[in-house]
Structure 1
Amino acid sequence: MPSAPLRVTARHIQLLRALFAALAALMVTFSPDHSAEVGLAVFGGFGIATALVFAVSAWLVSPAGHRGAAILLGSLYLVAGMAASAVTLRSGTLFFVVTIAWALIAGLTELLVGIRQRARLGRSESRDAVVVGALTILLGVALLFVPADYTLNYFIEDAGRGFTLTGTIIAVGLLGGYAAVVAVYLGIAGLSPQPAAAETASAATAQEDRP
């Protein structure tokens, strides 16, 4: 009996986004350097990789006539990722500008997409877009309250040395925390069982709408 052809679904997109978010979170967590250069490098890779996931979603998952949202979100992630990857321009200011602008614009876009597409995508998938969009906006708002020029010097006796906490270190840490939360949420969403009836209906709708 011939095996059924592999079909990319919304679950695969969720898991791919979770994978790249997890990689970003791990890179921030296990890096001893939380400078703007490292933060921009991590965010640049995360943004470009996620943009490619949205491109796959628009090409293989979204039905004809409903690909605009994935294309728009992919474009926002790609522009932000490319801006963060400009090595010669990397600085603390660039990190704050790029991540805050991306978080507020892309987060609001994904939130509105989830709200508008609730009827077509179903409650589960639209809820995921709403939650991730809200988390992204929350990251942008949190970064707005981090002073870019903040510096705190402190000494730890057990370590026998002094340390410096800066606004950039805090901001990069917030980005890593955001990525970790998104990775866990989308990973759970992608692995959660979906009612067979809903999955069949979604697949049939996508197939009928394709050119």
Structure 2
Amino acid sequence: MSAPARTFTVRHVQLVRALLAAAAALMITFSPDHSAAVGLSVFSGFVIASALVLGLSAWLVHPAGRRWAPIALGLISLIAGMASGIPAWRTNDAFFAIVIGWALLTGLIELISGIRARRSGEASARDEITVGAFGILLGLLLIVIPAGFTQPYAIEGAGEFVLTGIILGVGMFGGYAAIVAVFLGIAGLTPKRAEAADTDDPAPAPIQGADR
């Protein structure tokens, strides 16, 4: 007799995380203000909501040996979200410090979790590895951007503008959120081989001596 199927699976977690990332990407994309205040405001809502989803998934989705990763990811995201939610801390330096720390730590944890899951043959291992790599890449890109970078430029017929480090940083976070949203959305909508195998009924064993 097979065990009852879970109503909340890894695919559901991926889809919810994709929706949250898509919402963050849209808010960054359509906001004319790419300041640290706006960037950290969007980041705070994104990571706190993600922390709640990851925390629930630790008990509703993952077995006992796999709960360390979503719990660690949820705690780091919750701390980063609470820190970035303090209005007085929403400065350029705070944006880079908080987002870089969050991206590198969560990216590394998810990467390690995915590598360990791949050794166990889990279907979601590749997705974890990829999302973890995206997080580490975001952190490294933000490290390269100087927080005090300022570059004036002009567009003929539109006027003069100034490109700053915080504009680049917030834009990088928005790009990261968009990529993660698309990737996790596709991963969540794509049936995994292991799930397909679980839904197949095993062929009945032949009855010995049936032809006698």
TM-score range, shorter chain: 0.7 to 0.9
Query: After superposition, what is the alpha-carbon deviation per residue over 1:51-107, rounded to whole angstroms, capped at 9, x for unaligned?
Result: 011012112101234312111111111111111111121100000000111111111
Matched, 1:192 2:190: yes
Alignment match, 2:152: 153
Gaps of 5+ in 1: 202-211
Query: Helix, strand or coil for the counterpart of 2:188?
Result: helix
Distance 1:192 1:69 in 2: 23
Shift of 1:6: 7.0
Change (3 A) 1:199 1:57: farther
The number of residues matched between the two structures is: 196
Q: Which amino acid in 1 is paired with 2:145? A: V
Larger helix fraction of residues: 1
Distance 1:64 1:200 in 2: 23
Distance 1:50 1:150 in 2: 31
Distance 1:104 1:18 in 2: 19
Change (3 A) 1:172 1:152: same
Change (3 A) 1:121 1:32: farther
TM-score normalised by the chain length of structure 1:
0.88
Change (3 A) 1:106 1:119: same
Alignment match, 1:132: 131
TM-score normalised by the chain length of structure 2:
0.87
Alignment match, 2:115: 115
Distance 2:48 2:104 in 1: 17
Question: Structure 1 vs Structure 2: percent identity of aligned residues?
Answer: 56
Shift of 1:188: 0.1
Alignment match, 1:30: 30
Alignment match, 1:72: 72
Change (3 A) 1:199 1:24: farther
Higher Cα radius of gyration = 2
Change (3 A) 1:66 1:155: closer
Query: Helix, strand or coil for the counterpart of 1:117?
Result: helix
Q: Which amino acid in 1 is paired with 2:186? A: I
Matched, 1:17 2:4: no
Shift of 1:197: 4.4
Q: Which amino acid in 1 is paired with 2:170? A: V
Change (3 A) 1:84 1:181: same
Alignment match, 1:206: none
Gaps of 5+ in 2: 201-212
CA RMSD of aligned residues (A): 1.8
Alignment match, 2:143: 144
Shift of 1:193: 2.0
Query: Quick check: 61-70 or 27-36, which moved more?
Result: 61-70
Q: Which amino acid in 2 is paired with 1:33? A: D
Shift of 1:120: 3.8
Change (3 A) 1:67 1:200: farther
Q: Which amino acid in 1 is paired with 2:179? A: V
Shift of 1:200: 5.1
Change (3 A) 1:5 1:116: closer
Distance 1:199 1:5 in 2: 9
